[in-house]
Amino acid sequence: MDLKKLAEVLIPDNDLLPLDEYEKAYPARELEKGAEVTRLAPSPTGFIHLGNLYSALADERIAHTTGGIFYLRIEDTDLKRKVDGAVESVIRSLKYFGLNFDEGAEIDSPLNKYGPYYQRQRASIYRAYVKDLIVRGLAYPCFCTEDELNAVREEQTERKEITGYYGKYAKCRNLSEEEIYANIKAGKPFVIRLKSQGNTENKFTFRDAIKGDITVTENDQDVVILKSDGIPTYHFAHAIDDHFMHTTLVIRGEEWLSSLPIHLELFKVLGFQLPKYGHTCSLMKVDNGVKRKLSKRKDPELSLDYYRSAGYYPKAVVKYLMTILNSNFEEWERKNPQADYRDFKFSIGKMGKSGALFDIDKLNDISKAELANLSAEETYDFLNGWVNEFGSDTDRQHFADKEYIIKILNLICGIGGKKRRKDIVRAEMGVRLMDYFFDDTFKPAYEYRYDKDTVNAVLDGFAAVYDENDDNSAWFAKVKGVAAANGFAAEMSEYKANPESFKGSVADVAEILRIAVAGSPNSPDLCTVMGILGKARTLARLNAGKI
Ligand code: GLU
């Protein structure tokens, strides 16, 4: 058969270059020895998940600790899955978690010399190489219909054989020249398949950068490399792109492990040097005592948007992922509590080989610890970012007064003091803790333990003497004065010695004031709360708190 002629008929494009021109167009990268080139290669589906971030973090750390490149390629060969704005959303999401690409789709960078970074825009490169494989007798057209393929699959399943297009089932592999041209003439749609040279009886050891030595069986499937719309499949595009973009290390989910034999064969027939591969383990969770993969349908926490909208501190999520990515990260952290996680020596060899357990409680603990480490200004920036995107209009109005919020934060978080608050997990919790400092979100529960006359007399009594210029001890002396004037013990020792002679102690008086001013019997230092609220608001609350 005249394969050159066949290739011309199947791929008549006149814009294809001789193959060595493509090689020249994508010269080797000028990087130091040992520098790794990694990439994130998502489909533009708009759904970016924790698994993506997990892989991307490994990619980014490895590239940036070896002086290499981390780039973004968009795998848009399947148009059905394309969602508008998805690429921007990937970039924004990763940026939120502190991960930045050096080059790639929609990245403004002088390094963008290996594009286009959208696969759909690379059709001619793929087609040139498919054409060459046809000429070399390593690829052929297949005219089988969906129905025919389904029937074969059913037959194979019934016979308990491996499903797919291989061996005797690869019907179009042996079509004669006449049959091929007759099909083309009849206008039958076709795909191009690899004419596999492999044999499943051959097994060999392959070194996966994460999983270590694994046994791989040769591929014998005549996989589709070019679909009927002229666009390549993932397999083929992967080989071409990672070759021309000079990826040195492909980190991807372990669901791709079963396709590895196909990729090994493709790199071989294309004459390309193989990159290293690292297959990451799936993220698992324990659900009702059973360990299972995180699922898009069942687990909102799989989506990265969840962490943003739920107000997790992004660095906490990244640090948490670091603990599951590298088993020695936690120990390093303990020894270097103030160090940036980027100073940790990330090692692909320390990545887990099988199912990483996702533990939201641990993430929450890390989040608490991270938030308890922030300055008031940093806390404000973080909360304000969340409020602007996910908070209510009222929250946004409150946060417009930065100075006021910073004062509140200093107090309620104990920033700079001896008792740092360490229980804030997410932004929303922090924001809600401030509600009582604003009249429109102040929801007091006036649940006093004293009768009306006592409560009102205490509130009026304190309102009459309150002076916003008092320091803590002058303020407290006044509370004691109000206590004594209303039948309470001004000193705790007095009260303890003789409890039945008093209505209660100074602490009970402070509680009445606290309920009126802060809305509940629990609040941080009341003198400071009043100071932040200001005199007018404090007096108004003392008055409104009367029953
Ligand atoms: N587009 C593939 C995916 O989203 C990429 C796999 C790879 O990294 O090679 O799963």
| pLDDT at site 116 | 97
| pLDDT at site 353 | 85
| pLDDT at site 4 | 97
Q: Is residue 73 part of a domain?
A: no
| pLDDT at site 161 | 96
Contact 130, 226 (CB under 8 A): yes
Q: Looking at ligand 1, which atom is closest to the CA of residue 55?
A: 8
pLDDT digits (tens, 9 = 90+) for 285-336: 999 999 999 998 899 889 898 999 999 999 999 999 999 999 899 999 999 9
Asked if residue 486 and residue 430 are part of one domain, the reply reads no
Q: Is residue 87 part of a domain?
A: no
| pLDDT at site 46 | 80
Asked if residue 486 and residue 432 are part of one domain, the reply reads no
Two tokens, residue 384: 């304000």
How wide is the angle at C-alpha 491 spanned by C-alphas 490 and 497, nearest 5°? 120
Which of 261, 280, 299 terminates a domain? The answer is: 280
Instruction: Kindly report the protein residue whose alpha carbon is nearest to atom 2 of ligand 1.
Output: 42
pLDDT at 352 over 90: no
Asked if residue 538 and residue 463 are part of one domain, the reply reads yes
What CATH number should be reported for the domain holding residue 525?
1.10.10.350
Contact 243, 271 (CB under 8 A): no
Q: In whole angstroms, what is the distance from residue 116 CA to residue 1 CA? A: 36
pLDDT at 355 over 80: no
Asked if residue 525 and residue 427 are part of one domain, the reply reads no
Q: How many residues are listed for the chain in this entry?
A: 547
Asked if residue 209 and residue 196 are part of one domain, the reply reads yes
**CA 41 to centroid of ligand 1, rounded, Å:** 5
**CA 42 to centroid of ligand 1, rounded, Å:** 5
Q: In whole angstroms, what is the distance from residue 104 CA to residue 112 CA? A: 6
| pLDDT at site 96 | 92
Instruction: Kindly report the protein residue whose alpha carbon is nearest to atom 7 of ligand 1.
Output: 252
Query: 10 Å Cβ neighbour count for 335?
Result: 8
Q: Is the CB of 247 under 6 A from ligand 1?
A: no
pLDDT at 81 over 80: no
Pick from 197, 148, 216, 196: nearest CA to 156: 148
Asked if residue 300 and residue 261 are part of one domain, the reply reads no
Q: Is the CB of 523 under 6 A from ligand 1?
A: no
Pick from 228, 230, 235: nearest CA to 194: 235
**CA 461 to centroid of ligand 1, rounded, Å:** 70
Band the pLDDT of 41: cuts 50, 70, 90.
very high
Q: Is the CB of 238 under 6 A from ligand 1?
A: yes
Instruction: Kindly report the protein residue whose alpha carbon is nearest to atom 1 of ligand 1.
Output: 42
Q: Is the CB of 233 under 6 A from ligand 1?
A: no
112-119 average pLDDT score: 96
252-265 average pLDDT score: 96
Q: Looking at ligand 1, which atom is closest to the CA of residue 40?
A: 8
State percent of the chain over pLDDT 70.
100
Q: Looking at ligand 1, which atom is closest to the CA of residue 238?
A: 9
Contact 299, 349 (CB under 8 A): no
Handedness of CA 396, 402, 406, 407 (dihedral sign): negative
Entry pTM? 0.88
Query: 10 Å Cβ neighbour count for 443?
Result: 9
- Convert 386-414 to b/e letters by CB count within 10 Å (16 or more is b): bbeeebeeebeebbeeeebbbbbbbbbbb
Asked if residue 336 and residue 256 are part of one domain, the reply reads no
Asked if residue 409 and residue 294 are part of one domain, the reply reads no
Band the pLDDT of 354: cuts 50, 70, 90.
confident
pLDDT at 48 over 90: no
| pLDDT at site 79 | 79
Contact 468, 476 (CB under 8 A): no
Which of 437, 471, 487 terminates a domain? The answer is: 437
pLDDT at 225 over 80: yes
Band the pLDDT of 455: cuts 50, 70, 90.
very high
Contact 251, 280 (CB under 8 A): yes
Q: In whole angstroms, what is the distance from residue 390 CA to residue 504 CA? A: 45
What CATH number should be reported for the domain holding residue 271?
3.40.50.620
Contact 336, 390 (CB under 8 A): no
| pLDDT at site 416 | 81
468-486 average pLDDT score: 97
How wide is the angle at C-alpha 67 spanned by C-alphas 65 and 72, nearest 5°? 90
Asked if residue 211 and residue 158 are part of one domain, the reply reads yes
How wide is the angle at C-alpha 86 spanned by C-alphas 80 and 90, nearest 5°? 135
Which of 280, 306, 325 terminates a domain? The answer is: 280
Q: Is the CB of 252 under 6 A from ligand 1?
A: yes
H/E stretch holding 183 reads helix 177-185
Q: Is residue 215 part of a domain?
A: yes
Two tokens, residue 344: 């940790």
Contact 220, 198 (CB under 8 A): yes
479-503 average pLDDT score: 97
Kindly give the pairing relationship between strand 356-357 and strand 283-287. Answer: parallel
Question: Helix H segments across 231-375?
Answer: 234-244, 260-270, 304-309, 314-325, 329-335, 360-371
pLDDT digits (tens, 9 = 90+) for 141-165: 999 999 999 999 999 999 999 999 9
Q: Is residue 76 part of a domain?
A: no
Two tokens, residue 375: 């300055």
Asked if residue 431 and residue 401 are part of one domain, the reply reads yes
Q: Which of 73, 75, 78 to mutate to test the pocket of ligand 1 (most atoms within 8 A of CB)?
A: 75
Q: Is residue 79 part of a domain?
A: no
Number of domains observed in the structure of the chain: 4
Contact 59, 48 (CB under 8 A): no
Asked if residue 266 and residue 157 are part of one domain, the reply reads yes
DSSP state of 49: B
Q: Is the CB of 75 under 6 A from ligand 1?
A: yes
pLDDT digits (tens, 9 = 90+) for 415-440: 988 889 999 999 999 999 999 999 99
In three-state secondary structure terms, 461 is: helix
Domain that holds residue 257: 3-15+123-280
| pLDDT at site 337 | 86
Asked if residue 500 and residue 487 are part of one domain, the reply reads yes
| pLDDT at site 202 | 97
DSSP state of 327: T
Band the pLDDT of 374: cuts 50, 70, 90.
very high
**CA 200 to centroid of ligand 1, rounded, Å:** 25
| pLDDT at site 418 | 82
**CA 43 to centroid of ligand 1, rounded, Å:** 7
